Structure 1
Amino acid sequence: MIGTFDVIVLDCSEPQALARFYVELLGGEIAELDSNWAEIVPTQPGERPLLAFQRVDEYQPPEWPGQRVPQQIHLDVKVEDLDAAEEAVLAVGATVTGAGTNTFRVYLDPAGHPFCLIHPED
C-alpha cells in the first residue's frame, strides 16, 4: 500500500454553495470555508473520507448524459425512500435529469456534477 484514502475533491465555481448543498444531502459539518476551498467532515472524529470543493476559474460542468464534457466522477447516495429523498434534494438545489430505474435516480448538483440516489432492492 502506498497511501491511504483521504479526500474526494470536486471542482466547481462556487465551493461555499456546493459545500452547503452536500451538507444537506450527506450530513457532516463544514470545517473549512473560503472563496477557493470548502471541506465537509463527518460528525464522528477520525471518520473518512472528507468531501472537499475547490474553485476552478472558467469551470465547465460535465455534460450528462452527453460526453462533450465528460463526467469524471459521480456519487451514489443510498436512501430509504426515493420519492422522499428526491423531494429533499430538489429543495436544496439539485436538478432532475429524468434518468433512472425503480432502484436509482440521477440528479445534478448545483455545479452540474451527476449523482445518484439509490435504493437497492432487498
Structure 2
Amino acid sequence: MIGTLDVVVLDCPDTRALARFYAELLGGDIVAFDDDWAEVVLPFAGHRPLLACQRVDDYRAPEWPGQDVPQQIHLDVKVDDLDAGEQAVVAIGATTTGQGTDTFRVYLDPAGHPFCLVVPQD
C-alpha cells in the first residue's frame, strides 16, 4: 500500500451549497468552508476520508450518461428503500434522472454530479 484515502473532492460552482447537500444526504458535519473550498466529515469515517467541495471557475456539470463532459465522480449511497430515499434526496435538492433498475436509481446533486441510491442485494 502506498497510501490511504484522505479526501474525495467534487468540483462545483458553489462550495457551500454542495457541502450542505452532502452533509444532509450522508449525516455528516461541515467542518470548514469558504467560497473556494468546503469539507464534510462523514459519520462512518471518523476524521478521514473527508468529502470536499472545490469551486471551479466556469464549472460545467457532467453529462450523464454521455461522456462529452465526464462524470468527474460517482458515489453510490446505500438505502433501505428506494422510494423513501428518493423522496429524501429530492427534498434536499437532488434531481431525478429517471434512470435505474429495481436495485438502484440515478440522481444528480445540486452541481450536476450523478450519484446512485442503491438497495442491499439479497
TM-score normalised by L of structure 2: 0.94
Q: Distance in 1 between matches of 2:44 and 2:87?
A: 27
Q: Which position in structure 2 is the counterpart of 1:2?
A: 2
AA at the equivalent of 1:70 = P
Deviation at 1:46, TM superposition (A): 3.8
Inter-CA distance 33–78: structure 2 relative to 1 (3 Å threshold): same
Gaps of 5+ in 2: none
Deviation at 1:72, TM superposition (A): 2.5
Q: Distance in 2 between matches of 1:118 and 1:57?
A: 32
AA at the equivalent of 1:101 = T
Q: Which position in structure 2 is the counterpart of 1:22?
A: 22
Q: Distance in 2 between matches of 1:24 and 1:71?
A: 22
Q: Distance in 1 between matches of 2:63 and 2:98?
A: 14
Q: Helix, strand or coil: the match of 1:40?
A: strand
Q: Distance in 1 between matches of 2:117 and 2:45?
A: 26
Aligned length: 122
Q: Distance in 2 between matches of 1:118 and 1:8?
A: 20
Stretches (4+) displaced over 2 A: 42-48
Q: Which position in structure 2 is the counterpart of 1:93?
A: 93
Q: How does 1:17-96 map to 2 (within 5 A)?
A: 17-43=17-43, 46-96=46-96
Q: Distance in 1 between matches of 2:65 and 2:100?
A: 12
Q: Distance in 1 between matches of 2:51 and 2:23?
A: 10
TM-score normalised by L of structure 1: 0.94
Q: Helix, strand or coil: the match of 2:18?
A: helix
Q: Distance in 2 between matches of 1:97 and 1:116?
A: 10
Deviation at 1:45, TM superposition (A): 7.9
Q: Distance in 1 between matches of 2:39 and 2:68?
A: 29
In the TM superposition, what whole-angstrom CA distance separates every residue of 1:88-112 from its partner, at most 9, and x where no partner exists? Answer: 0000000000100000000000000
Q: Helix, strand or coil: the match of 1:121?
A: coil
Q: Does the 8 Å contact 1:9/1:51 carry over to 2? A: yes
Q: Does the 8 Å contact 2:7/2:48 carry over to 1? A: yes
Identity of aligned residues (%): 71
Q: Distance in 2 between matches of 1:81 and 1:47?
A: 28
